Chains A and B, each alone.
Chain A
Amino acid sequence: MAIMKADKLGVSVAKGPSMMTGAIPKNDWWDVPAEFKPGKYCYPAKQEIHEYHQKSLPKELGGQPRVWDPESDNWLLPEGWEAIILNGLKERLDKFRSLKIFMDCCVRCGACADKCHFFLGTGDPKNMPVLRAELLRSVYRNDFTLAGKLLGKMAGGRPMTFGVLKEWFMYFYQCTECRRCSVFCPYGIDTAEITMMGRELLHLVGVNTNWILEPAANSNRTGNHMGLQPHTFKDNIMYLCDDIEEITGIRVEPTFNRKGAEVLFITPSADVFAEPGIYTAMGYLLLFHHIGLDYTFSTYASEGGNFGLFTNNELMKKLNAKMYAEAKRLEVKWILGGECGHMWRVLHQYMDTMNGPADFLQVPTSPITGTRFDNAASTKMVHISEFTADLIKHGKVKLDPKRNDHRTVTWHDSCNTARAMGLLDEPRYVMQNVCNNFHEMPENTIRESTFCCGSGTGLNTDEIMELRMRAGLPRANAVKYVRDRHEVDTLACVCAIDRATLTSLMNYWNPDVNVCGLSELVGNALVMEGEKERETGLRFEPLAGMEG
């Protein structure tokens, strides 16, 4: 969908009437209906995709598979859908203490209000995390609290109506579960939890989006979001090996589904499929060859990402379960994970609980340095940045950071690795060893305060491009800050969704800034044994001093 030019949208953000610019809505928020217009919502799941999932998760992915239009006033909801939602809410209140506490404790102090990138970019009051949660909380109060039962509207209660359902579908898909608000909340209320619950409830009545459920279906069947079948997955990586050979003169020989390898390597499939992720994958391939790692890819578990996280707990568990199943089948010792944000949220905070214990694996130990990764002693999965930082620290890789001198780099902390894991300084250490020109963005926009790319949690779809560009503005703006001051031209990160979404975002707001994965910079800097003199980087761009 064509959207307005950046300069025009910029004026709209800074000057248009919105809560960010001081305009006060005339009506109370509960009297402002959600209006579905093109560009304001993600397309519903295709009927066959909905059917496919229902075969394996009948209860949780409820509703009738159907063709329906969010712009119409009839969403073809199942009979008694209100009761389905309320029962689903009750079930979740009993299953998640977080939900109960977050429903009860908010004092509406407003500290979260201007911490959300969606609010900063749209000025829409319902994108203040507090109001996003109130959309659900009002229903909770009405049906589950004494005050709400007695006083109804006076106690802030609202019955579950179609109007409320529409608000949920709109605003739980204008949240990327980035958790920035939860850093600032005095009670740690995490809107990600609220949004997850909201989306689960919507799924119970068949209200869903295709951009999440189709990749999830692909992932289930073919092993990855992209729907790459085993031979294609392998072919794609072999093409990257050809490019590596052309650039470095070195032939790397990855293996697939090989039993008995020491390490199973799993990365988001976008890394083997599309720019600029493929350059990150080339970085992995070079690194593993350089250190002689005994590893294998799997075509069955060929996806690090997990769109189940954006759907419901059951689907998340189902998709994630492939990793341990495959590690067991291939009899590897431990698992190494590539660069991805939400993948690492699942691996760090959910995997062991859902699909562990991984007692058939060993505590990860780097075969090169002998370092035991005790921080992954139970889950047995190590992040590529932890692994690489350890290699560099022990002097096990030969690096020439000058090979990245054609770039001036800044670092984007991905939401999930920053706020659901605490992976902040490992990638920075790697970064400082592989490139010479590095500048941090302003402090309120990095580390635990980092801003989301604006398109995470399955919102990376073209039909909502303007929303995405608005939501990504806080990130883009901080990049612009360092671009203007330090001529930064590269935005590096450890997230596959970022590599895709930040590329769109930079093209829109800062067209002269490229996006790359950390491992691409590593791959550029690696001095391989027997390599030819490098004239270009991994994307065939001329190195500094090699231009023309």
Chain B
Amino acid sequence: MRILTPFIAVLALIAVGLVAAQVPGGQALIGIVLPYLAFALFLGGFAYRVMQWAKSPVPFRIPTTCGQANSLPWIKQNKIDCPSTKLGVIARMILEVFLFRSLFRNTKAEVHEGPKLVYGSSKFLWLFAILFHYSFLVIVLRHMRLFMDPIPGFVAALEFGDGFMQIGAPVFYQTNAIFLAAIAFLFLRRVMLSNIRYISLPADYFPLLLIFGIAVTGILMRYVFRADVVAIKQLTHGLTTFAPTIAAGQISPIFFIHVFLVCALLIYFPFSKLMHMAGVFMSPTRNMINNSRMVRHINPWNDPNIKPHSYAAYEDEFREFMKEGGIPVEKE
């Protein structure tokens, strides 16, 4: 059920896109109205979620220290994994966000007879996570050619680099293959590793399948159905200039399925775990300076009414014992 339901949901989305592309007015709905709506919901929802997080304070300074702290001057500090300055935190965050530093630490534990526990290096999740995210990024950036005129230099450069193997026509982009392979890995990992399958929810399979659907329809459109790029660009560029038009009958239905799935992803994004994209920047265990003994951190809801059991009450209870034991007292 955990896999089947999201699978059916994605199939249903494809079917809706396919049908809508054929009915009168459907193309304008999917090609024009929906993208605006989805993009607005994405931006609005994304901002809303970030603001909701930001509304809650960070009452305590709780970085996870992953190396030697700033201590005596002759003890070598790990300035990135245990930062004591803002610069150190920035370096830590850059490594986390761009290179998935923490995931790179991953190990795999096994128990053997004895009992004996061993921890092996395990970098595949890191590798495929990197491949997935970066090829996704490159693909999104490549798509900018459809929304901009003239095409920015970096997009052209990216396309050139991505297609340098010059296989086939239209040129085959290796990110497409890497992207599909990475999605397949992430999906198969969820299905085949028993503990990962056990923790996986429909909300884990759905985005993977949806993104897979987007990738496949995109690739089919480019290499198999050979959709009319000129007509598509007319529409997409029209979207960015707020003057969208659809050339009647020229755009293949596969395009509308593709767009429909992308819109579904955009709408789904802010309400899902995909918000980890923003959350990673705000995680208190990573983005805080380990200087809590150097600089006082303020908790806005710190309750000044919580007082210790007072010394006076303590002495009142134990005064005689203290005097007998030769411990100084305040009141004789």
Partner pick for A184 among B74, B105, B196, B297, CB 8 A cutoff:
B105
Please encode chain B, from 130 to 159, with 1 for each CB lying within 8 Å of some chain A CB and 0 for all others.
Answer: 000000000000000000000000000000
A21 & B203 in contact (Cβ 8 Å cutoff):
no
A425 & B111 in contact (Cβ 8 Å cutoff):
no
What's the nearest-Cβ distance from chain B to residue A524, in Å? 23
Please encode chain B, from 279 to 299, with 1 for each CB lying within 8 Å of some chain A CB and 0 for all others.
Answer: 110111110001111111111
Residue A291 at the chain B interface, CB threshold 8 Å: no
Residue B164 at the chain A interface, CB threshold 8 Å: no
A182 & B74 in contact (Cβ 8 Å cutoff):
no
At the interface with chain A, which of B11-19, B218-226, B242-250, B316-324? Answer: B316-324
A97 & B57 in contact (Cβ 8 Å cutoff):
yes
Partner pick for A97 among B49, B96, B284, B308, CB 8 A cutoff:
B284
- Residue among A21, A29, A188, A449 with the highest chain B CB neighbour number at 10 A: A188
Given the known A-B contacts A259-B328, A352-B292, are A186 and B117 also in contact in the complex, defined by CB atoms under 8 Å? no
A375: chain B residues at CB < 8 Å are 69-71, 84, 291, 293-294
Q: Which residue of A lies closest to B270 (CB)?
A: A146
Given the known A-B contacts A24-B194, A29-B198, A234-B327, are A423 and B69 also in contact in the complex, defined by CB atoms under 8 Å? yes
Q: A420–B318 Cα gap in the complex (Å)? A: 36
B285 & A429 in contact (Cβ 8 Å cutoff):
no
Q: A473–B117 Cα gap in the complex (Å)? A: 9
B198: chain A residues at CB < 8 Å are 19, 24-25, 28-29, 125, 131
What's the nearest-Cβ distance from chain B to residue A328, in Å? 10
A357 & B199 in contact (Cβ 8 Å cutoff):
no
Given the known A-B contacts A98-B62, A257-B328, A353-B292, are A189 and B117 also in contact in the complex, defined by CB atoms under 8 Å? no
A448 & B81 in contact (Cβ 8 Å cutoff):
yes
Q: A425–B78 Cα gap in the complex (Å)? A: 11
Q: A221–B321 Cα gap in the complex (Å)? A: 15
Q: Which of A2-25 contact B (CB under 8 A)?
A: 10-11, 13-15, 19-22, 24-25
Given the known A-B contacts A182-B64, A378-B294, A477-B115, are A96 and B59 also in contact in the complex, defined by CB atoms under 8 Å? yes
How many chain-B residues does the 8 Å CB contact rule pick out?
Answer: 102
Given the known A-B contacts A187-B283, A352-B292, A378-B294, are A325 and B311 also in contact in the complex, defined by CB atoms under 8 Å? yes
Given the known A-B contacts A14-B112, A104-B275, are A353 and B60 also in contact in the complex, defined by CB atoms under 8 Å? yes
Residue A500 at the chain B interface, CB threshold 8 Å: no
Q: A93–B52 Cα gap in the complex (Å)? A: 10
Given the known A-B contacts A104-B279, A349-B61, A379-B293, are A229 and B117 also in contact in the complex, defined by CB atoms under 8 Å? no
Q: A80–B301 Cα gap in the complex (Å)? A: 27
A20: chain B residues at CB < 8 Å are 109, 111
What's the nearest-Cβ distance from chain B to residue A113, in Å? 5
Partner pick for B53 among A13, A101, A319, A423, CB 8 A cutoff:
A101
Residue A130 at the chain B interface, CB threshold 8 Å: yes
B195 & A125 in contact (Cβ 8 Å cutoff):
yes
A230 & B72 in contact (Cβ 8 Å cutoff):
no
Residue B302 at the chain A interface, CB threshold 8 Å: yes
What's the nearest-Cβ distance from chain A to residue B103, in Å? 4
B202: chain A residues at CB < 8 Å are 154-156
Partner pick for A105 among B67, B69, B111, B283, CB 8 A cutoff:
B283
A10: chain B residues at CB < 8 Å are 114-115
B272 & A21 in contact (Cβ 8 Å cutoff):
no
Given the known A-B contacts A101-B53, A318-B308, are A147 and B271 also in contact in the complex, defined by CB atoms under 8 Å? yes
Q: A321–B299 Cα gap in the complex (Å)? A: 15
B282 & A329 in contact (Cβ 8 Å cutoff):
no
How many chain-A residues does the 8 Å CB contact rule pick out?
Answer: 124
A113: chain B residues at CB < 8 Å are 195-196, 199
B297 & A352 in contact (Cβ 8 Å cutoff):
yes
B66: chain A residues at CB < 8 Å are 183, 419, 448
Q: Which residue of A lies closest to B283 (CB)?
A: A188
A317 & B273 in contact (Cβ 8 Å cutoff):
no
Residue A193 at the chain B interface, CB threshold 8 Å: yes
Given the known A-B contacts A319-B308, A419-B65, are A474 and B117 also in contact in the complex, defined by CB atoms under 8 Å? yes
Q: A313–B193 Cα gap in the complex (Å)? A: 38
A419: chain B residues at CB < 8 Å are 64-66
Q: Which residue of B lies closest to A150 (CB)?
A: B271
Partner pick for B68 among A102, A329, A425, CB 8 A cutoff:
A425
A329 & B311 in contact (Cβ 8 Å cutoff):
yes
B125 & A111 in contact (Cβ 8 Å cutoff):
yes
B331: chain A residues at CB < 8 Å are none
Q: Which residue of B lies closest to A153 (CB)?
A: B202
Pick 28 A–B contacts, CB within 8 A, sort by A.
Answer: A10-B114, A14-B112, A14-B115, A56-B309, A97-B56, A101-B53, A108-B199, A113-B195, A113-B196, A128-B199, A183-B102, A183-B105, A188-B96, A190-B285, A229-B318, A231-B327, A256-B327, A257-B328, A318-B306, A348-B292, A375-B84, A376-B293, A377-B294, A425-B75, A426-B71, A444-B107, A449-B105, A477-B115
Cβ-closest 7 pairs across A and B: A422-B69, A231-B325, A105-B279, A422-B65, A321-B308, A188-B285, A114-B109
